[in-house]
Amino acid sequence: MAPSELPATPTLDAAHSGIPARLLHKATHAKSLVYDGKTVADTVTLQRGLPVPQGISKSAFLSAIDELRTLIGAEHVQLNDKQIKNGWYMEHSNTHDMMPIFSSEEFIASAVVYPGSVEDVKLIVKWANKHLIPIFPISVGRNLGYGGSAPRVRGSVTIDLGRWMNKILDINPDGFTCLVEPGVTFYALHEELVKRGLDDKMWIDTPDLGGGSVVGNTLDRGVGYTPYGDHWACHSGLEVVLPGLDSNGDVSVMRTGMGALGVGGENTWQCFPYGFGPYNDGIFSQSNLGIVTKMGMTLMPNPGGFESYMYTFAKEEDLAALIEIIRPLRISMILENVAQLRHGLQMLSVKGHPRTKYYTGSDPMPDDVVRKHLRETNIGECAWVYFGMSYGPAHIRRYKLDIIDKEFRRIPGCRKVDPSTMPDDEYFWTRDRIASGTPDLEELKWVNWMPNGSHIAFSPVSPIRGKDAENLWALAKKRHAEAGIDLMPAFCVGLREMHLIVEIVFDSEDEAMKKRAEKCLRDMIDDAAALGYGEYRTHLAFMDQVARTYSWNGNALMKFNNQLKDTLDPNGILAPGRCGIWPKRYRNRGWELKGGETSTEGNGVAPVSGGSRI
């Protein structure tokens, strides 16, 4: 479709989740590629009508919604009973998983509410406790590949925090910290630094795509690509609305770390994450124990120069030797950022064209076909590509780059690609921008590999060892071959571990392919677990399976999480099932997904007598 035929992508001036004006041309282009690949209408009429959550009648639910309208304002409550719109990355859905591995009407909200303040969030929590209606908070809702904005429990009421709660409350140019609300995206935070003339002084750490919420991504323990890549490790201070009611029937708000000080907490809230006593922040990440309404984050000083580099490696079998070279360099910070080691096929797919441009077979694309097409690109024929960045003034970089060059060249066939040979629109430059704190929009292009391109991620963590890389690579290869799916792995190397990220790209309209994609991921999770590897994050449909792999000592961890859940959220209203943690009311009623199901729902919820209070 010609870009001119599609409505323009909203910019940041028009929407909190919009694209920065400087990237509008990219959004226009990316949008036309996505819509070229869509074979079905973007807007779909709901076949099953209003998704009422289990445990409440439709009429009781509708009268509760009327009450919510009175509390928050009718214009801030939207019922989801007619049509859903899939959209695309920049104009994403907040009602359902727009990359559905099951039917679109499984992971779906009954309504969306848009709070304007912490007070509104408290009212919503109180309302949910009164009516025993499941609520599912999202910050921006761009957790794509992991369920996006969708709730785990069908018919939950989604709290879209980001639409109105999207202020950058503070940027401290002396202390290099900021304080943000859930609706602040990496794009928006970066643009604000530019606007204030601070972008030359301080950097943010951005993931591959910049549209995600800083709060949401950090709470989900997302990763970026500067030396500050571990977002959770870089946050300092949370403000949290708790899900239970206190003895007066009220909702509590607490601040963690130094923010808990009765007087003057703001002074040190973003400088020191721990405060006094138990460090509680952890129970609010990847959890369903609180609604985070503010978060502090560190910003990185401009290191005084930076230089991206890219090496290619000839053979797939070079993987283990290369990882062995990377480990000591990474631990000693000669390799300074979360670098990516990508498979050659991903360098083709990220160009944004459908796979049929390169290959029409129904089997995974053969190696010689991948190599032939890579030969015609600027990168050239190879098996693996390493993207890294060196920071600091030229003489400091030289010292590190020389060591890296000498070490990498121990692998026969290693090539350093000269950046000056890379045209402006080459993928190399998006890695360069991201590793220097400028969010971009290139990464989503590989979803176009399939028509109606959707994705789910296999995200195991391992030590940085050749043997581990080989194990994971081998099991992924085996399961992709069985499923007939192209394997596009990227190793993201942290300080002591690496995240392998395998995005399975599937056609959301191809039911058979969806089944194969689900089986492929379930098999990889089980295979990896049998070898001692666990996922760091997963899609809604796989949370029960992944949670079960963390079973040490008679599931001691899950028992503890259940205890916390029962104590902090006795009515079980907040994001039931998120990360495999089910409230008491849902337990042992068949809500856990094990694979092969066609429904995401269990057999009802237990009634709660007398409205539990803490």
Q: What is the DSSP string of 332-399?
A: TTSS-S-EEEEEHHHHHHTT---GGGT---SSPPPHHHHHHHHHTSSS-S-SEEEEEEEESSHHHHHH
Cβ of residue 447: shortest distance to ligand EUG, in angstroms? 11
Among 160, 443, 486, 592, interactor with ligand EUG by CB under 6 A: 443
- HEC string of 122-148? HHHHHHHHHHCCCEEEECCCCCCCCCC
- In angstroms, the CA 76 to CA 79 distance is 10
For ligand EUG, the closer CB: 111 or 447: 447
What residue has token string 């969030």? 121
* Shorter beta-carbon distance to ligand EUG: residue 445 or 585: 445
The 3-state DSSP class for residue 178 equals: strand
Q: Please state the closest distance from residue 194 (CB atom) to ligand EUG, in A.
A: 25
User: Of these, 9, 139, 337, 459, which contacts ligand EUG (CB under 6 A)?
Assistant: 459
From 309, 533, 536, 586, the catalytic residue? 536
What kind and span of H or E run contains 89?
Answer: none
Do strands 497-507 and 489-493 pair parallel, antiparallel, or not at all (unpaired)? antiparallel
CB of 146 to ligand EUG, least distance (A): 7
Helix residue spans in 37-162 (DSSP H): 58-72, 118-131
486 in contact with ligand EUG (CB under 6 A): no
Residue number, 125 or 223, with CB nearest to ligand EUG: 223
Q: Which is nearer to ligand EUG, 111 or 350 (CB)?
A: 350
What CA–CA distance (Å, rounded) separates 188 from 18?
A: 8
User: Closest Cα partner for 154 from 611, 591, 607?
Assistant: 591
418-428: b (≥16 Cβ within 10 Å) or e: eeeebeeebbb
Structure tokens given for 86: 């899939």
Is 146 marked active-site? yes
Among 457, 485, 504, 540, binds ligand EUG (CB under 6 A): 457
Place of tokens 């902090």: 568
| 30 near ligand EUG, judged by CB under 6 A | no
331, two tokens: 């631990």
Residues 220-259, one symbol each (x = binds ligand EUG by CB under 6 A, - = not), give ---x------------------------------------
* Phi-psi group of 14: left, alpha or beta (phi > 0 → left; psi -120 to 50 → alpha; rest → beta): alpha
Region 111-150 residues binding ligand EUG, contact defined as CB under 6 A:
145
What is the spatial distance between Cα 562 and Cα 405, in angstroms, rounded to a whole number? 50
Question: Under the criterion CB under 6 A, does residue 493 sit at the interface with ligand EUG?
Answer: no
Q: Toward ligand EUG, which CB reaches closer, 153 or 347?
A: 347
Per-position x/- string for 524-553, each x denoting binding to ligand EUG as judged by CB under 6 A, each - no binding: -------------x----------------
Rule CB under 6 A: is residue 347 a binding residue for ligand EUG?
no
Residue closer to ligand EUG (CB basis): 179 or 434 = 434
Other C-beta atoms closer than 10 Å to the C-beta of 393 total 10
Does residue 492 interact with ligand EUG by CB under 6 A? Answer: yes
Secondary structure (3-state) at 448: helix
Select from 106, 181, 208, 468 the one that contacts ligand EUG (CB under 6 A): 208
- For residues 452 and 459, which CB has a smaller minimum distance to ligand EUG in the complex? 459
CB of 221 to ligand EUG, least distance (A): 9
Instruction: Return the range that interacts with ligand EUG (CB under 6 A); candidates 180-188, 300-308, 497-505, 569-577.
Output: 497-505
Q: How far apart are CA 445 and CA 457, in angstroms?
A: 16
Q: How far is the CB of 443 from ligand EUG (least distance, A)?
A: 6
Q: Which helix (H) or strand (E) holds 244?
A: strand 235-245
455 binds ligand EUG (CB under 6 A): no
Element (H, E) at 255: strand 251-255
- Shortest approach of ligand EUG to residue 332 CB, angstroms? 22
537 catalytic residue (yes or no): yes
Does the footprint of ligand EUG cover residue 99 (CB under 6 A)? no
For the chain, give percent helix, strand, coil, nearest 5. Answer: 35, 20, 45
Which residue, judged by CB position, is nearest to ligand EUG in the bound state? 223
Are the C-beta atoms of 575 and 582 separated by less than 8 Å?
Answer: no
Residue 145: CB minimum distance to ligand EUG, A? 6
If one asks whether residue 400 binds ligand EUG (CB under 6 A), the answer comes out as no
Residue among 253 and 498 whose Cβ is closer to ligand EUG: 498
Q: How many residues bind to ligand EUG according to rule CB under 6 A?
A: 12
Q: Which is nearer to ligand EUG, 454 or 459 (CB)?
A: 459
Is the Cβ–Cβ distance between 561 and 505 less than 8 Å? Answer: no
Least Å distance, CB 528 to ligand EUG, is 15
Enumerate the active-site residues. 146, 536-537
Task: Please report, as ranges, the residues that interact with ligand EUG according to CB under 6 A.
Answer: 145, 208, 223, 443, 457, 459, 490, 492, 499, 501, 503, 537
